[in-house]
Amino acid sequence: MDDELLEIIVFTRKDSAGLPIPEIIFINAGIEGPSQYQVERIIRRDNEIIKGKKTTMFTCLVKLENKKHTWDIRYYHDDDRWVLHRA
């Protein structure tokens, strides 16, 4: 967890198994309010256990200033919390 960047807000939908699928990522940009980023698609989803906590790492293709970037976001199931892991 040492290389995680910051906690984020993520709007999701559920897949057929009831697992969350990220659609929109919000990052608090300070005084101007949160910035919104559309998830174009999920490239990879990995289930992990970190320090005894069940997590899912999503590698997402995100559109940012008319370019597509790969971001890794992690969902902590027990805490119902999302963090930006790598952008």
Q: How confident is the model over 10-19, as pLDDT tens digits? A: 999 998 888 8
- Return d(Cα 66, Cα 16) in angstroms, integer: 31
- Return d(Cα 4, Cα 73) in angstroms, integer: 9
Point out the residues of the chain with pLDDT beneath 70: 1-5, 29-31, 87
- Per DSSP, helices labelled H in the chain are none
Please tell me the pTM assigned to this model: 0.84
Per-residue b/e over 11-47, b at no fewer than 16 CB within 10 Å? Answer: eeeeeeeeebebeebeeeeeeeeeeebebeeeeeeee
